[in-house]
Amino acid sequence: MSKDDSLVDVLQRSGVSRRGFLKFCALTASAMALSPAMVPRIAAALEQARRPSVIWMSFQECTGCTESLTRSHSATIENLIFNAISLDYHHTLQAASGEAAEAAREAAMEENWGKYLLVVDGSIPVGNPGFSTIAGISNKDMLLETARGAAAIVAVGTCSAYGGLPHAAPNPTGAVSVADLVTDKPIVNVPGCPPIPVVISGVLTHYLTFGEIPELDELGRPMAFYGQNIHDRCYRRPFYERGQFAETFDDEGAKKGWCLFKLGCKGPVTYNACATVKWNQGTSFPIESGHGCLGCSEPDFWDMGGFYEALSTPLPGFNEAIAYGTAAGAVAGLASGVLASRVKKRAKDQHQTVSVDDLEKGESS
């Protein structure tokens, strides 16, 4: 495949008819969460589209985001999109390693300077650059260098979008997000742990199709996928409205599929497309499998209290009570520490030297 091939050329070479192309456009619109009315515009844009060069860099991450995208069970729209881009550097997927890999990255950067799309998964440690390096280059240096020639950056996964797990308290590596370091490029955040595969490909397709990044919310997420919260789109929402809640994971309510709010579901404060797009080729999503939403597409979701603690309880003023209780607990804990050291000090002061004559039992004084 030459770099100058258009997407349509690629599709036609793989035996796709004009009706097939129309089907592809309809599904692409769906993947981009665009209205079906946009299909003709998409078709027109795709006929002009050139295969963009994509450089994918992984920093402090678990490869879950790449897995999410590549572990589709069958030939789907994501695969077609991947055939249509030129993935020039992805150190998990590429065959080359070491100097050859870095050379490929530098060549792709030089050839497409100012035009390539940079995809990042994983957070960047700034506490000590040595915590994560590639070919001896710190993550921070590599990001800043590669970002300079990028047309746009897609931060895939909660780690690169908001710091994610590495950023969770006490953040031992000083992990930060891409947007914390790069301020002069358009950045699309595609959070999730991991993000839904079609959401990742949808954003890439949007860029591929229209040559620009999609409309974003205040957290840098594409409105099309993150515009509505899980709760509003959840099929269990009607139970919430009626006050029908599962109280434990094995009670009647849980068996009847009632709302999981009281079991800690973070759906009401989580903006993502899980409830509509779903997972595993549209099979289901966490709430459908009987577990509350963890809120993985929100910043600092690791530190938002327990996964199984309800967002709030119906009692008015309860939250304030908890706040006061926590403050009191902190004071008591501090006092407890002081007391503990006093106990020990007193014990030391009261120490009576034990000699061999003291080993036999006597009356308690």
Which residues are at the interface with another protein (CB under 8 A)?
16-20, 22-24, 26-27, 29-30, 33, 35-37, 39, 73-77, 233-239, 256-258, 275-277, 280-284, 288-290, 332-333, 336, 339-340, 343-344, 346-348, 350-365
Q: Which region holds residue 46: left if phi is over 0, alpha if psi is between -120 and 50, else beta?
A: alpha
To another protein, the closest distance from the beta carbon of 37 in angstroms equals 7
C-alpha 51/C-alpha 4 separation (Å) is: 7
Comparison of 36 and 172: residue with beta carbon closer to another protein = 36
Comparison of 21 and 307: residue with beta carbon closer to another protein = 21
Question: Are 298 and 191 spatial neighbours (Cβ–Cβ below 8 Å)?
Answer: yes
To another protein, the closest distance from the beta carbon of 256 in angstroms equals 5
- Of 61, 62, 65, the C-alpha closest to 195 is 65
- Of 218, 204, 310, 205, the C-alpha closest to 261 is 310
Comparison of 94 and 276: residue with beta carbon closer to another protein = 276
Q: List 56's β-bridge partners, or say none.
A: 90, 119
Comparison of 144 and 331: residue with beta carbon closer to another protein = 331
What CA dihedral angle connects 354, 357, 361 and 362, to 10 degrees? Answer: -90
To another protein, the closest distance from the beta carbon of 145 in angstroms equals 39
Counting beta carbons within 10 angstroms of the beta carbon of residue 310, is it exposed (0 to 12), middle (13 to 18) or buried (19 or more)? Answer: middle
To another protein, the closest distance from the beta carbon of 162 in angstroms equals 26
To another protein, the closest distance from the beta carbon of 172 in angstroms equals 19
Comparison of 23 and 185: residue with beta carbon closer to another protein = 23
Counting beta carbons within 10 angstroms of the beta carbon of residue 220, is it exposed (0 to 12), middle (13 to 18) or buried (19 or more)? Answer: buried
Comparison of 70 and 94: residue with beta carbon closer to another protein = 70
Torsion over CA: 69, 74, 77, 81 (sign): positive
How many CB atoms sit inside 10 A of residue 182's CB?
21
C-alpha 256/C-alpha 42 separation (Å) is: 42
Comparison of 315 and 359: residue with beta carbon closer to another protein = 359
Comparison of 98 and 362: residue with beta carbon closer to another protein = 362
Strands 133-134 and 175-176: unpaired
Question: Are 63 and 191 spatial neighbours (Cβ–Cβ below 8 Å)?
Answer: no
Comparison of 72 and 171: residue with beta carbon closer to another protein = 72
Phi (first) and psi of residue 289, to 5 degrees: -85, 0
C-alpha 79/C-alpha 74 separation (Å) is: 9
To another protein, the closest distance from the beta carbon of 141 in angstroms equals 37
What CA dihedral angle connects 48, 51, 57 and 58, to 10 degrees? Answer: 90
To another protein, the closest distance from the beta carbon of 264 in angstroms equals 16
Comparison of 43 and 65: residue with beta carbon closer to another protein = 43
To another protein, the closest distance from the beta carbon of 255 in angstroms equals 8
Residue type present at position 104: A
To another protein, the closest distance from the beta carbon of 326 in angstroms equals 14
To another protein, the closest distance from the beta carbon of 351 in angstroms equals 6
C-alpha 126/C-alpha 349 separation (Å) is: 48
